[in-house]
Amino acid sequence: MEQKDLITTGWADYELLDSGNGRKLERFGSVITDRPDTQAIWSPARDEVWSTATAKFTQEGKDNKWEFKGEVPEKWILNFHGLIFGLRFGNFKHLGVFPEHAVQWNWLEEKVKALGTANVLNLFGYTGAASLAARVAGAEVTHVDSSKQSVEWASENAKLSDIEEGIRWIVDDAAAFVKREVKRGAKYEGIVLDPPAFGRGAKGQVWHIEEDLLPLLRDLKEILSPKPGSFLLLSGYAAGFAPRSFAQAVESVFDQNVEITFGNLDLQESNSDRVIPTGIYVRLILT
């Protein structure tokens, strides 16, 4: 196994402007947001830019809310090299895209193209960024999420990106869906999963990552194609585990003829080398 932290820098439609005092200042297209981030325990480097925020998310006990300055759109788009994501202000601090995963979208496209033809399964697929990245690279994609709203949002993003076919949208519990795929003898050359620490399935199934991740990985081994170059991409956000813990869980299941890379997912500020650790990842490739 190789440990390597991955750093996402900004692009034309996104940049991390500054961070500190438990918050981060970001530009998503024309909208500048000020949001909490528990990792940012340092001091801001550019005090003067924080006043440019047009949307600020605040948390006081159970009272979470967005505060707006001036005219702010209810919905707008973010362009990532031709992939179009519709953004909106949710009930929590999220907007519908995790920009730190941009380095993973690029990797997905590269691995799918190297395979030539591929079926890719995206579990806990949220609003579909990974599904879109795999599809534009030529994969047939199965996108699974227990939230009907998230799947509809992902489908809207596909339409915005002029992707009209090649993605199967499924509202279902991820673990339950995979168990049925094992029984059906399904095979995928690529598997992507970004499980929460805690969640509920489409029929109220409870997900605890510390109890349920390893059984899911065992089922995923059964449906991962043995074709060399087939891959698994596991990400974690606020899961409370070190990246090596995730990597060793994967290694304990996929224990032969594999290459495993793992580490932190970081976001880099646009005017410095400083980064915010945002999550962890494991990449596995069959050799």
Question: Could you tell me the CATH number of the domain that includes residue 203?
Answer: 3.40.50.150
Looking at 50, 65, 88, which one is the last position of a domain? Answer: 88
Helix axes 148-160, 129-136, angle to 10 degrees: 40
**124-172 residue pLDDT tens:** 999 999 999 999 999 999 999 999 999 999 999 999 999 999 999 999 9
Same domain, yes or no: 127 and 165 = yes
What is the number of domains present in the chain? 2
**pLDDT over threshold 90, residue 61:** no
Task: Note whether 84 and 125 are same-domain residues.
Answer: no
Residue 15 lies in a domain: yes
Residue 221 clears pLDDT 90, i.e. is over it = yes
Residue 206's pLDDT is what?
81
Only one residue has tokens 């995206």, namely 122
Instruction: Kindly report the three-state secondary structure assignment for every residue of the chain.
Output: CEECCEEECCECCEEEEEEECCEEEEEECCEEEEEECCCCCCCCCCHHHHHHCCEEEEEECCEEEEEECCCCCCEEEEEECCEEEEEECCCCCCCCCCHHHHHHHHHHHHHHHHHCCCEEEEECCCCCHHHHHHHHCCCEEEEEECCHHHHHHHHHHHHHCCCCCCEEEEECCHHHHHHHHHHHCCCECEEEECCCCEEECCCCCEEEHHHHHHHHHHHHHHHECCCCCCEEEEEECCCCCCHHHHHHHHHHHCCCCEEEEEEEEEEEECCCCCEEEEEEEEEEEEC
275 within some domain: yes
Query: Where residue 189 falls among pLDDT bands split at 50, 70, 90?
Result: very high
pLDDT tens per residue across span 225-262: 999 999 999 999 866 789 999 999 999 999 889 999 99
What pLDDT, on the 0 to 100 scale, is given for residue 56?
A: 97
CATH number, domain at 68? 2.60.40.1180
Mean pLDDT (the chain, rounded): 95
Q: pLDDT digit string (tens) for 107-129?
A: 999 999 999 999 999 999 999 99
Q: Report pLDDT for 55.
A: 97
Q: Is residue 203's pLDDT more than 90? A: no
Condensed to tens digits (0 to 9), the pLDDT of residues 10-33 reads: 999 999 999 999 999 999 999 999
Residue 263 and residue 142 share a domain: yes
The yes-or-no verdict on residue 175 having pLDDT over 90 is: yes
The reported pLDDT for the residue numbered 239 is: 62
Q: Are residues 14 and 111 in the same domain?
A: no
Cα 18 from Cα 72, distance rounded (Å):
21
Residue 205 confidence (pLDDT) above 90? no
Q: Give residue 100's pLDDT band: very low, low, confident or very high (50, 70, 90).
A: very high
Between 73 and 200, residue with greater pLDDT: 73
> Does residue 49 sit in the same domain as residue 147?
no
